[in-house]
Structure 1
């Protein structure tokens, strides 16, 4: 589902209604981390990952977030 919101507070209110979030968008990943919402973050493969592949440094730290790297 593609979602457009008027701002961060509206996005947070919408996210809090979700039982799980599946997204490639880092805004939603960070928001879900802050709200402790179980999340699957989908990113391009290691070679394409920003910041020269330092996934261990830039990955979400919240235990409820799992990352999927696609090739």
Structure 2
């Protein structure tokens, strides 16, 4: 593993009712290696975050979705 190619943020929000935890994996390359993602899931499990709560956001191009929605809105307004 090349440790200067990514970083992990672990956020814990303490509330009077419950605790919320979130982890984020940020990599220099648009899509991290399968080994990196597997290791990240292992780290998440260590902190009690189950695999079904791990989302791979590299599979979603939010900028492209926003642009496509904007084009659709613009054409429907005409």
Q: TM-score range by the shorter chain?
A: under 0.3
Higher-RCO chain (CA-CA 8 Å, sequence separation at least 6)? 1
TM-score by length of 1: 0.28
When Rg is computed on C-alpha atoms for both structures, the one with the higher figure is 2
TM-score by length of 2: 0.26
Which is richer in helix? 2
